């Protein structure tokens, strides 16, 4: 009697089909050894929303009865492997399905594995990943966050590489041969993808993480009210009017203390306050009211509230005043304006370094990096990927019945 | 011991697929070769309409696929298509199903054997995606046959059975197949998909006979009527629903013969009930925590069993009473509510109470409401209900109130 449970933490819409492919791949690979399985999404999530963190699960077991035994909890409470397909989720996850910030490794079993696609060094990721009260393995597959699986997206083999990696992590459940066979047979499968899976199997980087390592911050949480404490009539109180920032000047809106939304963010605005013309457009157009008005009439993007949509950068008329930068470049949500006010020279040095780092500022609308194929696939080739061919929805599609 | 094994041996020619309950429904629809399908999106039912659209786009099914401008039209269109002899499919969820309400009421008296899928969803407000059974239960008095399924496999099999039963000339009533949103509609499980040849052996062509709207068969459907006519029409409907008992038994017997699987008892699943002192009841996917909880309690020597009703309309009164009379106490968990009802109980608990009223042996019945809006029914909830039932069995009487499970108190 044995079972294997896995979660895939992904970003809404862009990676929805990717996560589904990975979970299906797990079940179909395990089926090769006669095991039973189920693949499902966290239903309370809203994976159609741009960038919202969401989860898929796969459970496989030796028998149907054992599978049921492990499905009795609607959402698994612990998993052997947490798969994270966007390393900016290492800062934690706040989805539509729950309240509060959940560390990325929250469900990972003691001595389990957190498998991430990332180009960051493990040490950098561990500045973001919360501390855990049990040791676990941080296993890295060298790759950028994939858009693979979006309907019109070119295949980048991420699902195949993840499955190949799993066959290394849990060979007793997913043998490399079984994984390769399942990929071969998948609607989206191909011989090239099988080769990618085999390479990924060989090229994993694993680092054990002990209980002293990781981000020591306590994730924010929220206690839900009892039925008799809730207002009747399906009504909730409005967010109160905000207040001046200091000395009767500026304006800070009240914000929902229980739902912060910042884990939807993959980029954040970096603001050059010396170039700001105080036109108010960023403050007006921000869909999340994330800008605080400072006493000197500047606009400071509050990083607890910012979803990273990039509208502020798009509407800003001042040249190079707002620059969207990958979330991977930051370790906290501290105020940029406070930093600027405190020491302008230090701020300028930091600003210049941050916005001129091309690894972090080449980006696309609303979600991450523009030009990632030109730049990154070459890198992937060197580190484990293989040449990409076109194929929508998959090179084998014609031969499939699904 | 009435233990139903869920391990399905693949029959020759069957294909095993990893698909959701909704996709399993679409597989059945393609095998049944439906003619007209209407669609209007609402979660979780929309996964079925997407799966059917994909089948048509991929050339696996030839059917008219009409995207309606709302659920009212959606159900009206298939009703009309069915009267001219088309095999039809439709579906919805939650308040979408409610928006179609007028069409839902006129479908049974016109004897339209429509098959619909209800992806069970909590009724607004609040807007929510999770499962409750009140949406489908709203039509329980109108002549719709209602069945709840539990697994993707059962969804596929039941959809095939539903056409066979609904389109039987002795019945000609619509069937709504209820599938719990999320647990069933959105989870992918391994399903055995039969061959078209087998389905053709099981499912005859839809023949509307003298009720078919056609220039060669000039008839008027649904003329206005006064008090001279209405009660007779209701009496006809009642007769059709009564005849459905036999037709359902026959259909399942044939299904077992052709497909080599399927339950002996179409009406409800019995799990470890043969020697059970306490029988727990619940419809749909709530069976999962119940079965696991029962297995765990059995390991401690507690004799607990499960009855999972499939058919709610027609309600299997005699068979249900016979099965329940063996127990010392019954616990019904409703995934629905009926505010102001007798004892404040849910719909299923009060139906079971009514069925037992004239029984020689009436075990104490405890009523529970749980899992509303998709809230998880936990193993702890299951243990708690069973323990309360054991206490009622010892006391020999019920406590005549309704216990809510999993509410933040």
- Domains, chain A, ranges and CATH? 3-220+378-399 (3.40.920.10), 262-361 (3.30.70.20)
8 A C-beta contact, residue B156 and residue B25: yes
Q: Chain B residue closest to A39 (CA)? A: B188
For residue A1, pLDDT over 90 is answered with no
Q: What is the per-residue pLDDT for A91?
A: 95
Average per-residue pLDDT in chain A?
A: 88
Residue at B314 is within a domain? yes
Domain shared by B60 and B80, yes or no: yes
Instruction: For residue A377, name the pLDDT band (cuts at 50, 70, 90).
Output: low
CB-nearest to A72 from B7, B130, B292 is B292
Q: What is the per-residue pLDDT for A366?
A: 34
CATH number of the CATH domain containing B332: 3.40.50.920
Q: Shortest CA distance to A293 belongs to which of A255, A357, A331, A242?
A: A242
Judged by a CB distance cut-off of 8 A, whether residue A234 touches chain B is yes
Q: Å from B291 to nearest chain A CA?
A: 9
**Minimum mean pLDDT among A70-74, A76-80, A130-134: which range?**
A70-74
Instruction: For residue A394, name the pLDDT band (cuts at 50, 70, 90).
Output: very low
Q: Shortest CA distance to B166 belongs to which of B34, B64, B358, B328?
A: B34
Q: What is the per-residue pLDDT for A5?
A: 97
Domain final residue pick, B207, B231, B259:
B259
Judged by a CB distance cut-off of 8 A, whether residue A75 touches chain B is yes
DSSP A4-35: EEEEEEEETTTTHHHHHHHHHHHHHHHHTTT-
Structure token pair of residue B81? 């298509």
Domain final residue pick, B201, B227, B259:
B259
Structure token pair of residue A248? 């009767």
Residue at B90 is within a domain? yes
| Full domain range(s) for residue B292 | 268-404
Judged by a CB distance cut-off of 8 A, whether residue B6 touches chain A is yes
Q: Å from A342 to nearest chain B CA?
A: 47
Of B8 and A147, which is predicted with more confidence? A147
Distance CA A357, CA B279 (A): 66
Q: Å from A36 to nearest chain B CA?
A: 8
Place of tokens 């900016």: A88
Domain shared by B93 and B238, yes or no: yes
Instruction: For residue A365, name the pLDDT band (cuts at 50, 70, 90).
Output: very low
Select from A43, A62, A70, A400 the residue whose CB has the most chain B CBs within 10 Å, as the one to mutate to test that interface: A43
Judged by a CB distance cut-off of 8 A, whether residue B7 touches chain A is yes
Q: Å from A250 to nearest chain B CA?
A: 37
Q: Which runs of consecutive H residues, i.e. helices, occur in B304-346?
A: 317-325
**Strand B115-120 versus strand B175-180 pairing type:** parallel
B408 and A225 within 8 Å at the Cβ level: the answer is yes
Residue at B398 is within a domain? yes
Q: Chain A residue closest to B23 (CA)? A: A402
Residue at B286 is within a domain? yes
8 A C-beta contact, residue B125 and residue A232: no
**Strand A322-326 versus strand B145-148 pairing type:** unpaired
Q: Å from B360 to nearest chain A CA?
A: 36
Distance CA B110, CA B129 (A): 32
Of A391 and B227, which is predicted with more confidence? B227
Judged by a CB distance cut-off of 8 A, whether residue B125 touches chain A is yes
Residue A241: partners with Cβ closer than 8 Å, 6 or more residues away: A253, A254
The total number of residues written for chain B in this structure: 409
Residue A278: partners with Cβ closer than 8 Å, 6 or more residues away: A297, A298, A299
Domain shared by B285 and B174, yes or no: no
**Minimum mean pLDDT among A154-163, A167-176, A227-236: which range?**
A154-163
Q: Å from B404 to nearest chain A CA?
A: 12
Domain shared by B188 and B293, yes or no: no
Residue at B149 is within a domain? yes
Residue A195: partners with Cβ closer than 8 Å, 6 or more residues away: A386
Residue A149: partners with Cβ closer than 8 Å, 6 or more residues away: A14, A15, A16, A17, A18, A19, A20, A21, A159
Compute and round to an integer the Cα radius of gyration of chain B. 21
B292 and A227 within 8 Å at the Cβ level: the answer is no
Residue at B190 is within a domain? yes
Q: What is the per-residue pLDDT for B336?
A: 98
Distance CA B144, CA B314 (A): 9
Residue at B409 is within a domain? no
CB-nearest to A38 from B6, B16, B187 is B187
Residue B394: partners with Cβ closer than 8 Å, 6 or more residues away: none
A366: buried, middle or exposed (CB in 10 Å: 19+, 13-18, 0-12)?
A: middle
8 A C-beta contact, residue A326 and residue A364: no
For residue A150, pLDDT over 90 is answered with no
Q: Shortest CA distance to B118 belongs to which of B155, B143, B153?
A: B155
| DSSP one-letter code for B205 | P
Q: What is the per-residue pLDDT for B9?
A: 54
Q: What is the per-residue pLDDT for A261?
A: 86
Q: What is the per-residue pLDDT for B311?
A: 98
Q: How many CB atoms lie within 10 A of CB B265?
A: 15
For residue A111, pLDDT over 70 is answered with yes
For residue A388, pLDDT over 50 is answered with no
Residue B248: partners with Cβ closer than 8 Å, 6 or more residues away: B165, B266, B267, B311, B314
**What residues 348-387 of chain A have any CB closer than 8 A to a CB of chain B?**
none
For residue A282, pLDDT over 90 is answered with yes
Residue at B3 is within a domain? no
Q: Chain A residue closest to B294 (CA)? A: A69
Q: Per-residue pLDDT for chain B (409 aa), expressed as one digit of tens each? A: 344 434 455 677 899 999 999 999 999 999 999 999 999 999 999 999 999 999 999 999 999 999 999 999 999 999 999 999 999 999 999 999 999 999 999 999 999 999 999 999 999 999 999 999 999 999 999 999 999 999 999 999 999 999 999 999 999 999 999 999 988 999 999 999 999 999 999 999 999 999 999 999 999 999 999 999 999 999 999 999 999 999 999 999 999 999 999 999 999 999 999 999 999 999 999 999 999 999 999 999 999 999 999 999 999 999 999 999 999 999 999 999 999 999 999 999 999 999 999 999 999 999 999 999 999 999 999 999 999 999 999 999 999 899 999 999 9
Domain shared by B283 and B203, yes or no: no
Phi, psi of B66 (to 5 degrees): -110, 120
B291 CB neighbours in chain A (<8 A) are 68
3-state class (DSSP) for residue A79 = strand
CB-nearest to A68 from B187, B288, B374 is B288
Domain shared by B176 and B284, yes or no: no
Distance CA A124, CA A215 (A): 10
Domain shared by B228 and B277, yes or no: no
B188 and A27 within 8 Å at the Cβ level: the answer is yes
The neighbouring-strand residues paired with A322 are: A271
Judged by a CB distance cut-off of 8 A, whether residue B374 touches chain A is yes
- How many domains is chain B partitioned into structurally? 2
CATH number of the CATH domain containing B45: 3.40.50.970
Q: Shortest CA distance to A58 belongs to which of A72, A38, A76?
A: A38
Distance CA A314, CA A327 (A): 18
Domain shared by B167 and B225, yes or no: yes
Region A38-60: mean pLDDT is 90
**HSE-up (13 A, CA, CB side) for residue B358:** 3
Domain shared by B234 and B165, yes or no: yes
B190 and A31 within 8 Å at the Cβ level: the answer is yes
Judged by a CB distance cut-off of 8 A, whether residue B293 touches chain A is yes
A250-276: pLDDT as tens digits:
999 999 888 888 999 988 999 999 999
CA distances from A179 to A160, A162, A186, A203 (A): 8, 10, 10, 16
Domain final residue pick, B225, B259, B293:
B259
A72 and B130 within 8 Å at the Cβ level: the answer is no
B129 and A43 within 8 Å at the Cβ level: the answer is yes
Region A196-209: mean pLDDT is 95
Q: What is the per-residue pLDDT for A402?
A: 35
Domain shared by B286 and B247, yes or no: no
Domain shared by B161 and B89, yes or no: yes
Domain shared by B78 and B22, yes or no: yes
């Amino acid at each position: 009697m044995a079972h294997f449970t896995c979660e895939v933490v992904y970003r809404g819409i862009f990676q929805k089909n990717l996560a589904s492919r990975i979970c299906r791949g797990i079940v179909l690979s395990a089926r090769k050894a006669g095991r039973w399985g189920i693949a499902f999404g966290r239903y309370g999530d809203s994976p159609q929303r741009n960038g919202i963190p969401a989860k898929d699960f796969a459970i496989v077991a030796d028998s149907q009865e054992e599978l049921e035994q492990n499905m009795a909890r609607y959402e698994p409470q612990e998993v052997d492997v947490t798969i994270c397909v966007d390393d900016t989720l290492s800062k934690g996850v706040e989805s539509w399905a729950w309240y509060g910030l959940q560390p990325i490794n929250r469900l990972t079993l003691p001595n389990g594995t957190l498998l991430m696609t990332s180009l960051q060094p493990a040490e950098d990721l561990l500045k973001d990943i919360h501390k855990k009260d049990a040791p676990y393995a941080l296993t890295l597959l060298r790759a950028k966050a994939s858009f693979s699986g979006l309907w019109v997206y070119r295949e980048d083999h991420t699902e195949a590489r993840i499955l190949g990696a799993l066959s290394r992590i849990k060979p007793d459940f997913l043998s490399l041969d079984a994984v390769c066979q399942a990929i071969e047979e998948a609607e989206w499968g191909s011989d090239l993808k099988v080769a990618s899976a085999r390479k990924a199997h060989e090229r994993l980087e694993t680092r054990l993480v002990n209980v002293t390592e990781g981000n020591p911050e306590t994730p924010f949480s929220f206690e839900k009210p009892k039925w008799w404490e809730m207002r009747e009539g399906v009504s909730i109180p409005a967010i109160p009017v905000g207040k001046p920032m200091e000395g009767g000047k500026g304006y800070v809106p009240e914000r929902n203390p229980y739902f912060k939304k910042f884990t939807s963010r993959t980029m954040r605005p970096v603001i050059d306050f010396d170039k700001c013309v105080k036109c108010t457009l960023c403050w007006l157009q921000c869909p999340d009211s994330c800008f605080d008005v400072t006493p000197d009439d500047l606009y400071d993007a509050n990083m607890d509230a910012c979803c990273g949509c990039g509208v502020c950068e798009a509407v800003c008329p001042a040249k190079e005043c707002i620059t969207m930068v990958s979330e991977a470049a930051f370790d906290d949500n501290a105020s940029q304006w406070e930093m600027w006010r405190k020491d302008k020279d230090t701020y300028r040095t930091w600003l210049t370094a941050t916005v001129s780092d091309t690894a972090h500022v080449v980006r696309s609308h609303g979600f991450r990096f523009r030009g990632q194929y030109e730049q990154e696939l070459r890198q992937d080739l060197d580190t484990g990927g293989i040449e990409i061919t076109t194929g929508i929805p998959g090179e084998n599609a014609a031969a499939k019945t699904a | 011991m009435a233990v139903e094994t869920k391990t399905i041996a693949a029959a020759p020619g069957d294909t095993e697929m990893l698909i959701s309950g909704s996709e399993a429904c679409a597989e059945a629809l393609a095998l049944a070769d439906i003619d007209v399908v209407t669609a209007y999106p609402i979660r979780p039912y929309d996964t079925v309409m997407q799966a059917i659209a994909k089948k048509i786009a991929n050339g696996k099914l030839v059917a008219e696929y009409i995207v309606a401008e709302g659920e009212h039209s959606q159900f009206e269109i298939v009703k009309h298509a069915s009267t001219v002899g088309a095999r039809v499919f439709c579906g919805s969820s939650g308040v979408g199903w409610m928006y179609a309400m007028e069409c839902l009421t006129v479908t049974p008296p016109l004897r339209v054997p429509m098959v619909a899928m209800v992806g069970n969803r909590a009724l607004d407000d609040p807007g929510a995606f999770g499962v409750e059974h009140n949406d489908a239960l709203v039509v329980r008095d109108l002549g719709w046959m209602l069945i709840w399924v539990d697994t993707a496999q059962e969804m596929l099999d039941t959809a095939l059975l539903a056409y066979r039963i609904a389109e039987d000339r002795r019945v000609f009533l619509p069937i709504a197949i209820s599938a719990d949103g999320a647990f069933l509609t959105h989870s992918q499980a391994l399903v055995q998909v039969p061959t078209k040849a087998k389905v053709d052996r099981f499912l005859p062509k839809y023949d509307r006979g003298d009720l078919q709207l056609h220039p060669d068969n000039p008839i008027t459907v649904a003329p206005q009527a006064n008090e001279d006519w209405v009660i007779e029409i209701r009496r006809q409907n009642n007769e059709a629903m009564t005849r459905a008992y036999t037709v359902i038994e026959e259909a399942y017997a044939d299904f077992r013969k052709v497909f080599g699987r399927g339950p002996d008892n179409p009406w409800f699943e019995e799990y470890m009930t043969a020697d059970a002192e306490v029988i727990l009841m619940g419809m749909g996917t709530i069976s999962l925590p119940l079965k696991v909880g029962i297995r765990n309690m059995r390991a401690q020597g507690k004799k607990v069993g499960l009855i999972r009703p499939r058919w709610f309309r027609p309600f299997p009164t005699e068979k249900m009473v016979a099965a329940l009379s063996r127990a010392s106490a019954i616990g019904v968990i409703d995934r629905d509510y009926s505010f102001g009802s007798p004892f404040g109980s849910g719909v299923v608990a009060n139906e079971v109470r009514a069925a037992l009223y004239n029984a020689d042996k009436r075990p104490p019945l405890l009523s529970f409401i749980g899992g509303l809006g998709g809230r998880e029914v936990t193993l702890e909830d299951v243990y708690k209900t069973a323990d309360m039932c054991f206490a009622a069995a010892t006391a020999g009487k019920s406590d005549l109130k309704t216990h809510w499970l999993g509410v933040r108190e």
